[in-house]
Chains A and B, each alone.
Chain A
Amino acid sequence: MRALNQLAGIVEAELRALAREAGVFIFVVFFPFMFSLLTYGAGQALTGGEASPTQWFYQLIGFTIMMIALTMSSSSAWYFRRGMMTGRLEYIFAAPVSPLTAVLSSALTSVIFNIASFIVVAAIGVIAVYGPYYLVNVIGVILFLALALLPVIGFNLLVGILTIFFREPEPVTNLINAVVSSVSGFTYPIILLPNFLQILGQVMPYSHIVNGARDILAGSFKYVQLSPHLFLLGYLIIGLIVFRVGEITYVRKSGVHW
Chain B
Amino acid sequence: MSGRAAFIGRVAAELEKGLIIYSRYRIWLLSDLISWPFWTIFFFLSFLMYSPSLLSSQYHLNAFTWSFFTFILVSSFMWASNFLATSAQEGILEYVIMTGSSIREHMLGRSVVSFIDLAVGGPVLLLISAAGFGTKISVAYPHLMLVSLVLASAFFYFFSSMLAALLVSLRSPWIIINVAQFIIPFTSGAIPVEVLPPEIRSTITYSPFFYVIHPIVASATGQYFMPPVLVFMVGGILCLAIYLASRVLEDALLRRALRHGKFTLF
Contact = CB atoms under 8 A, between A and B. Distances in A.
The answer to A–B direct touch (Cβ < 8 A) is: yes
Interface of A: 21, 23-24, 27, 30-31, 34-35, 38-49, 51, 55, 59, 166, 168, 170-172, 174-175, 177-179, 181-183, 187-189, 192-194, 197
A178 B35 contact: yes
B51 A46 contact: yes
Contact of A182 (B27, B39, B187, B196): B39
Nearest to B41: A182
Interface in B24-43: 27-28, 30-32, 34-36, 38-39, 41-42
A27 B179 CA distance: 8
Given A46-B50, A46-B54, A181 B38 contact: yes
Contacts of B34: 175, 178
B47 A46 contact: yes
B197 interface: yes
Contacts of A24: 172, 175
A194 B133 CA distance: 10
Nearest to B29: A171
A168 B31 CA distance: 12
Contact of A47 (B35, B50, B171, B191): B50
Contact of B35 (A31, A51, A175): A175
Given A178-B38, A187-B42, A27 B178 contact: yes
Interface string B225-240: 0000000000000000
A59 B49 CA distance: 10
B2 interface: no
A197 B40 CA distance: 14
Contact of A46 (B41, B42, B183, B195): B195
Contacts of B182: 34-35, 38
Interface string B171-190: 11001001100110011000
A29 to B, nearest CB: 12
Given A49-B197, A178-B42, 13 more contacts: A43-B50, A45-B200, A46-B48, A59-B46, A170-B31, A174-B32, A177-B35, A178-B38, A178-B39, A182-B41, A188-B48, A192-B45, A194-B132
B49 A39 contact: yes
Nearest to B40: A182
B50 A34 contact: no
B134 to A, nearest CB: 11
A42 to B, nearest CB: 5
Contacts of A38: 182-183, 186-187
A23 B170 CA distance: 11
A192 B132 CA distance: 12
Contacts of A46: 47-48, 50-51, 54, 60, 195
A30 B179 CA distance: 9
A41 to B, nearest CB: 8
B100 interface: no
B3 interface: no
Contacts of A34: 179, 182-183
A200 B42 CA distance: 14
B183 to A, nearest CB: 7
A59 to B, nearest CB: 7
B175 A23 contact: yes
Contacts of A170: 28, 31
A30 B176 CA distance: 11
Nearest to A170: B28
Nearest to A49: B197
User: What are the 9 tightest A-B residue pairs by CB atom distance, in nearest-first order?
Assistant: A43-B50, A171-B31, A178-B35, A178-B38, A188-B49, A182-B38, A182-B42, A187-B46, A46-B51
B175 A27 contact: yes
A175 B186 CA distance: 24
A174 B54 contact: no
Interface in B61-110: none
A44 B47 CA distance: 10
Contacts of A177: 35
Contact of B51 (A30, A47, A179, A181): A47
B195 A174 contact: no
Given A27-B178, A38-B182, A43 B31 contact: no
Contacts of A45: 191, 195-197, 200
